Amino acid sequence: MIKFLDLHKINQRFETAFQTQLHTFFSKGRYILGEQVQHFEQQFAAFNQDQFCIGVGNGLDALSLIFKGYVALGKLQKGDEVLVSAHTYIASILALTEIGLVPVLVDPNEQTFLLDTSLLQDKITSKTKAILVVHLYGRLANIAEIESLAHQHNLLIVEDCAQSHGINETSSHPKAFSFYPGKNLGCLGDGGAITTNDEVLAELLFKLRNYGSAVKYVHEIQGVNSRLDEIQALFLSIKLPFLQQDNLRRQAIAKRYTNEIKNTLIQLPQWDIQTPHVFHLFVIRTPHREALQSYLKTQGIETLIHYPIPPHKQKAYEAWNDLSFPITEKLHQEVLSLPISPVMTEDEVTYVIQKTSAWTL
């Protein structure tokens, strides 16, 4: 069986280094917001060419804390509208609704799966105050066009980078990351981070993640408990130097898939070498998804669907269930993710190519 993602094999590469450093960690007895978190924050900020990194409990908290920070700074208030792709993982939406912001869903571009900039203008109202840009599947959204529109309308931009660790991009906007185990840079549990060049926002976020406190037992604002764990930070620090190498391997596999899978029943993702893409997922499309997934399973190839139900059709957002986003709904009915990871062998990649190409109805 070719696993969709062999996390044991991915993380086994770092086991010896982790166990060695874990002994030193135990001997110091500092288990929350200690040296390991500080070290990783410095590493990850520099890696992303940002001045500040704030380690938090998970990717959802990373997103929601950015928006909570903007509310606390008076740049946003409850009831403000935020433009966001309708084709995204539900966390992008939850981060907004949990603090009283109003997501305004926009159908994606059918070829890139990302926010369709041509549709944004018509969605802007007097209540629109921000754009949440999701770099879905590891592909960089069209930041230049989005920035131009945001500048015209004085809108904030927040980037959801939960699936785009290591992407070749620099911007002045706050970025939210998830270190869920399956991510390109994944830890051994939940974890997340925010990077930014905004010193005022960063200082506020350091407090927000820690009960609203910068000094123990002194609480300046109403915060939460969302702190990156010391052990997770230690493991992430060990893995981070290998991220670019792992992403290059993902790109090499994606290049083979793109060039060598030949099947008229399948639509491959649109990608050229010039488009920044770290291939957190390699997502194909077919109107016969269930048949293809079933066939690949019989051939010993595990696949996943990202995602079967769009946010506006979830019971959690029942009031939106009658809304129509035809491109989003079509994608959610057709997308299928093939195995892709830095530890796949060439023989495994070849096997996936052969079996996917050979599939017929």
Express each pLDDT in 102-142 by its tens digit: 999 999 999 999 999 999 999 999 999 999 999 999 999 99
- Which is more confident, 75 or 273? 75
pTM above 0.85, yes or no: yes
pLDDT > 90? residue 178: yes
Burial track 200-221 (b if 16+ CB lie within 10 A, e otherwise):
ebbebbbbbbbbbbeeeeeeee
Decide: 307 and 289 in contact? Cβ < 8 Å: no
Q: What is the mean pLDDT of residues 185-193?
A: 98
Q: For residue range 140-151, list pLDDT tens digits in order.
A: 999 999 999 999
pLDDT of residue 114: 96
On average, the pLDDT of the chain sits at: 97
At 303, the amino acid letter reads T
> Among candidates 256, 239, 92, 238, which has minimal Cα distance to 163?
92
> What is the per-residue pLDDT across 272-310, written as a single tens digit (0 to 9) for each?
878 899 999 999 999 999 999 999 999 999 999 999 999
Question: What backbone phi and psi angles, to 5 degrees, belong to 354?
Answer: -65, -45
Residue type for position 4: F
Q: What is the pLDDT of residue 231?
A: 97
Q: What's the first-to-final CA gap in the chain, in angstroms?
A: 22
Mean pLDDT, rounded, for 77-82: 98
Q: What's the confidence (pLDDT) of residue 43?
A: 98
Domains of the chain by start residue, with CATH = 7-106+114-241 (3.40.640.10), 242-358 (3.90.1150.10)
| Portion of the chain with pLDDT greater than 90, in percent | 95
Instruction: Label residue 28 by pLDDT band (50, 70, 90).
Output: confident
* Whether pLDDT at 170 is above 90: no
